[in-house]
Amino acid sequence: MKIAVMSDSHDHIWNLRKALVVIKAEGCEKIIHCGDFVAPFMFKELEQAGIAVLCVFGNNDGDKALLTRFAMESRGLITLYPIIGELTADGCRIAFTHEWPVAEGLAATGKYNLVCFGHSHQYALKHIGKTMALNPGEIMGKDGEPGFCIFDTGAREVERFSIG
C-alpha cells in the first residue's frame, strides 16, 4: 500500500492541490497529515480528493473545534487525532504526530516501523533502532522546497516528491 505523508500546509491551498494530483497519480490509498493545516477549508480540499486522511493537530491549527467538526462531517474520509495517531497497514505499524520530541519518544519504543512528524518544515529521514522517523517537509514552501513523501508499506521505502 502506498501512503502519502505530508505536513505543515499552513493554508497553502495551491501547493496542497499540486500534491493531491501527484498522490492520486501515484495510487496512494491513504494520506497522513502531521498537522498545521491552520484553517478548516484545507479539510475541504483533502475531502474532495476522496482519499482517506489520518491527521493530527499542529501547533498553528486555529479553531480546533471547527476543524474537528469539519473532520466529523467528512463522511469518514478525515480522521483527526489530538496528538498521536496510529495506523497498521500490511503488517506495518505507523504512528504520527506533529513535533519531534513526541516522535522521537514513539520511535524509541521500537513499537513502530515508521513514525511521522512535522513542525520544523525540513525533510528528514532518521533511523532509531528499527524504526524510521520521517519528517516529509512542508507543503507550504516557506522554509524550503515544498513537497511530501510516499511510504510504500510493502517495500518499507520512502520517496520524496517536490511540488515547487
pLDDT higher than 90, residue 164: no
Q: What is the pLDDT of residues 7-22, one digit of tens each?
A: 999 999 999 999 999 9
Q: What is the pLDDT of residues 133-147, one digit of tens each?
A: 999 999 999 988 999
Q: In what order do the strands lie in the sheet with 92-96?
A: 85-89, 92-96, 114-116, 131-136, 123-128
User: DSSP string of 125-145?
Assistant: EEEETTEEEEEE--SS-SSS-
Q: Using a cut of 0.95, tell me whether the model's pTM lies above it.
A: yes
pLDDT higher than 90, residue 103: yes
Domains in the chain: how many in total? 1
Q: What is the pLDDT of residues 39-63, one digit of tens each?
A: 999 999 999 999 999 999 999 998 9
pLDDT higher than 90, residue 119: yes
Helix (H, G, I), strand (E, B), or coil: what is residue 2? strand
DSSP state of 76: T
| Spatial separation of the C-alpha atoms in residues 23 and 61, rounded to whole Å | 23
| Spatial separation of the C-alpha atoms in residues 51 and 46, rounded to whole Å | 8
pLDDT given at position 144? 85
- Contact indicator for 5, 150 with CB cutoff of 8 Å: yes
Q: In which region does residue 35 sit, left (phi positive, over 0), alpha (psi from -120 to 50) or beta (all else)? A: left
Specify the CATH number for the domain of residue 115: 3.60.21.10
CA 133 to chain centre: 13
Full residue range of the structural domain in which residue 150 is found: 2-162
